[in-house]
């Protein structure tokens, strides 16, 4: 039941995750959120527990995940930063196995390509440009996906276009093989991620979403 289900959130104060805790509470869930700076948490509620820590620190991840049933990872980094996506995801997966947590929902960029994709010419060019401009980040993103594929959890990795600041539009387009649009609001992303908590449609899949 939603009221007794606790969601662990990584990246809840970032651009993508900023609305996530609020949307989770609105849907009846409890939340435990890992943040480096608690002062950046804009939305407070009795159903939200704030854990001060670092996603690169395994003890912080263990404290975050203990007693939770779902993990939502919206960790974000500047594109030129040393990528840590795969190492953080590895720590999460290790801890999930320890605690018997089965559901993982994460986000990545639309530039991540799969052999089964059927991207338009423009989206293909855009993905190749990212490969050239940000090779370390893209290599780490692929490693993150491989970790999920080789795990035994019920994972969903959502591929995103350009993310803008804004309220929910109520319009979310979904596609498995190509990005259906160029932009999406961070509020709509949060709505979609929470909708996936009990949704089986995209388990072990990497859907694209946009407005």
CATH number, domain containing residue 27:
3.40.50.720
DSSP letters for 181-192: -SEEEHHHHHHH
Predicted local confidence at residue 3, as pLDDT: 61
Predicted local confidence at residue 78, as pLDDT: 80
For the chain (211 residues), the mean pLDDT of every run of 10, in chain order, is 82 86 94 90 89 94 97 89 94 97 97 95 94 94 98 98 90 96 94 96 98 94
Predicted local confidence at residue 140, as pLDDT: 96
Tokens coding 14: 């970032």
Predicted local confidence at residue 92, as pLDDT: 98
- Whole-model pTM above 0.75? yes
Predicted local confidence at residue 2, as pLDDT: 56
Domain of residue 25 covers 2-210
- Number of structural domains the chain divides into: 1
């Amino acid at each position: 039941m939603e009221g007794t289900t606790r969601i662990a959130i990584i990246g809840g104060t970032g651009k993508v995750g900023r609305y996530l805790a609020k949307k989770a509470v609105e849907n009846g869930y409890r939340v435990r959120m890992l943040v480096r700076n608690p002062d950046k948490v804009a939305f407070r509620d009795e159903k939200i527990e704030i854990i001060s820590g670092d996603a690169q620190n395994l003890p912080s991840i263990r404290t975050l995940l203990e007693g939770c049933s779902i993990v939502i990872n919206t960790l974000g980094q500047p594109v030129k930063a040393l990528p840590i996506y795969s190492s953080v995801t590895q720590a999460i997966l290790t801890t999930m196995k320890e605690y018997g947590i089965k559901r993982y929902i994460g986000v990545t960029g639309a530039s991540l390509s799969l052999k089964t994709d059927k991207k338009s010419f423009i989206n293909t060019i855009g993905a190749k440009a990212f490969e050239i401009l940000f090779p370390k980040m893209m290599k780490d993103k692929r490693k993150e996906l491989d970790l999920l594929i080789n795990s035994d959890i019920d994972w969903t990795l959502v591929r995103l276009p350009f993310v803008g600041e804004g309220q929910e539009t109520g319009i979310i387009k979904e596609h498995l093989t190509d990005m259906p649009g160029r932009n999406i609001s961070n509020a709509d992303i949060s709505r979609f991620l929470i909708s996936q908590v009990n949704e089986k449609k995209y388990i072990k899949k990497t859907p694209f979403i946009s407005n």
